[in-house]
Structure 1
Amino acid sequence: MNGYNLKESENLLICNACGTQFETTDRSALKTCFICDDPRQYVPPSGQSFSTLADLRANHRNEFHPNHRDPRLISIVTTPKFAIGQRAILIRTQSGQNVLWDCVTLLDGNTIAEINKLGGLHAIVISHPHYYSTHVEWATAFSCPVYLSSEDMTWTARETERRIPIAETRTDILLGSSDTDLVEAGIVAIKLGGHFPGSLVLLFDKHLLIADTLLTVPAGVANWKVNALGEPRERPKGANTFSFMWSIPNFIPLSANEIVRMWEILKDYDFTSTHGAFVGTDIEDDDIKARVLQSMQIQTKYMGFGEHPFLHALW
């Protein structure tokens, strides 16, 4: 475990609503969570409360679920659900330089052992502050850097020298190999903004890991391939696949201009699948890029911008 001490920080307080770990064990000193007090998040009706890693390790576990189409992508999800309930995705590469996309709060001995068995971690990249969780623990346990957008570094709750700020729109986390015996895609962090100023997506071999920078909606994962009689059918016109939100839980959409700005960045990249923040939000479709654009245009139109030139954009 690279000298990581499971006991050392197990009593630091963790917000039950968002999973953020704080640099204190004093419950009288920490009465609110600054992540949850932000209008993009919320405090539950039951009120603000805190747990610890010791609590989580006693009652929760992490499960590993390889993607059924590409086992190089492995979802890590905590059960029972804790806080927001997002997954992390372990990207396994032929070179052994594995990258973790996003982060879950629970880190225990079994999780560390399983990831080390799979090759350890070369780097961690986190999409936005709601998933910062216990990333200091993870970076320490695996002796690796953690990449966060420079715009969003003010939302960190603990100090560490392992953070690397992402300042550019495109940042290569791992470069692809040109070795004839080892040809593989690189891993690229793309800063789209939107939900947070620095919200990221991650591109690996035409897989676009989107967290909720692009929010996968029920109509996006619906099965419209056949009707009730088993006959082939087409996806209904006007059905969206994604929404683009400033606040997901509070249902506050992004502006039309912000959506257009995000597309101007994303249109330069090719991808044939998207992988959202939660298990069950993977979409494999050669036309998925067109579906992103269509979803952006649908949201723009129904926010009252029926004459916006973006509605005629093509990719």
Structure 2
Amino acid sequence: MEEARRLDKECWICEACGMQFAPSPNPPPECHICTDHRQFVPRGGQKWTKQEQLKQRGYRNMYQKHEANLFGIATVPKVAIGQRAFLLQTPNGNLLCDCITFLDDATIDIINGLGGIRAIAISHPHFYSTNAQWSAAFGNVPVYMHEKDKQWAGFEHGNVKYWSGESLHLWDDITLVHLGGHFAGGSIVHWASGADAKGVIVSGDILQVGGDRKCVSIMRSFPNFIPIAPSHARRIGAIMETLEYDRLYGGFFELEIDTGAKKIVRDSLQRYVEWIHKDDPNA
């Protein structure tokens, strides 16, 4: 906990994307996440904050129980991108799926009351946020990131565990699955016993749930509207076919597919490929 308190004061956070950087007396010259073509620097320019300043500004985290053993966590008012994280409870320890920027004592107490955190798994760099501080606050737990995204780490602390290959079984029935797409290391969580043993996917926005909750999409950049090549869609679709699941949770509140998710993912990716290849000028 003392390490987490130190990071409150010594680490700069990008206000646009929520990424926390390694301790330094002055903020970084730029945020490499925001200057990348997949994200953006706000019109008003690059701005920085610290965790202690966020606490003084009155932010708080909210919680939603989505189903047995799965809780969503997000910050209000919205901080940075505004994604949610998930606390996934299992008999042999809890996994934090993705991460959010704001962390306060109430959140630490609530999560400890639910069994704490055994590890953190992050889908892609846009959701790295303050993972070093979360790890420190819960006993220096490992933070799993795919090695193909190693170059994007803003704070390569000692608890980061880079993994490689197409999947990584963590414990019980939790597996990290590499999809790529949005980022080279983009990954999802497969929880086999979720949704009454029909299977759950926690996708971040590697698979982005549509506003109608009847489709998903994949993009190189969502805010800048850059698509992904059809070959990536086919590859991602082939990987998803190997998994058993019925429910899918996206990276933001109210974006989830309660049932029939596997067919929806299959149909959405097929439609994506068809429209990318469509050459009718009147379509």
Identify whether the pair has TM-score above 0.5, normalized to the shorter chain: yes
Cα shift readout 1:256-286 (whole Å, capped 9, x = no counterpart): 011001112111001010000000012111x
The amino acid of 2:174's aligned partner reads: I
CA contact (8 A) 1:87 1:104 kept: yes
Runs of 4+ more than 4 Å apart: none
Counterpart of 1:295?
268
Distance 1:5 1:152, change over 3 A: closer
State which of 241, 244, 248 in structure 2 corresponds to 1:267. 241
Is 1:82 paired with 2:69?
Answer: no
Shift of 1:220: 2.2
CA contact (8 A) 1:150 1:198 kept: yes
State which of 39, 43, 53 in structure 1 corresponds to 2:51. 53
Distance 1:118 1:151, change over 3 A: same
Cα shift readout 1:281-314 (whole Å, capped 9, x = no counterpart): 12111x22111111011111111258xxxxxxxx
Is 1:145 paired with 2:138?
Answer: no
Counterpart of 1:93?
90
Shift of 1:158: 1.3
CA contact (8 A) 1:87 1:278 kept: yes
Shift of 1:173: 1.3
Distance 1:294 1:208, change over 3 A: same
CA contact (8 A) 1:11 1:53 kept: no
Shift of 1:154: 1.1
Aligned residues, how many?
271
Counterpart of 2:196?
none
CA contact (8 A) 2:54 2:102 kept: yes
**Within-5 A mapping of 1:218-257:** 218-220=211-213, 241-257=215-231
Shift of 1:94: 2.9
Counterpart of 2:207?
214
**Within-5 A mapping of 1:1-315:** 1=1, 3-27=2-26, 30-59=28-57, 60-67=59-66, 70-95=67-92, 97-143=93-139, 144-174=141-171, 176=172, 186-204=173-191, 205=193, 206-220=199-213, 241-285=215-259, 287-305=260-278
Aligned mates of 1:263, 1:167 — CA distance in 2: 20
TM-score of the two chains, using structure 2 as the length reference: 0.92
The amino acid of 2:253's aligned partner reads: V
5+ residue gaps in structure 1? 177-185, 222-240, 307-315
The amino acid of 1:271's aligned partner reads: Y
Partner secondary structure for residue 220 of structure 2: strand
More helix by share: 2
For the pair shown, the structure with the greater C-alpha radius of gyration is: 1
Aligned mates of 1:215, 1:159 — CA distance in 2: 27
Identity of aligned residues (%): 34
Aligned mates of 1:61, 1:23 — CA distance in 2: 24
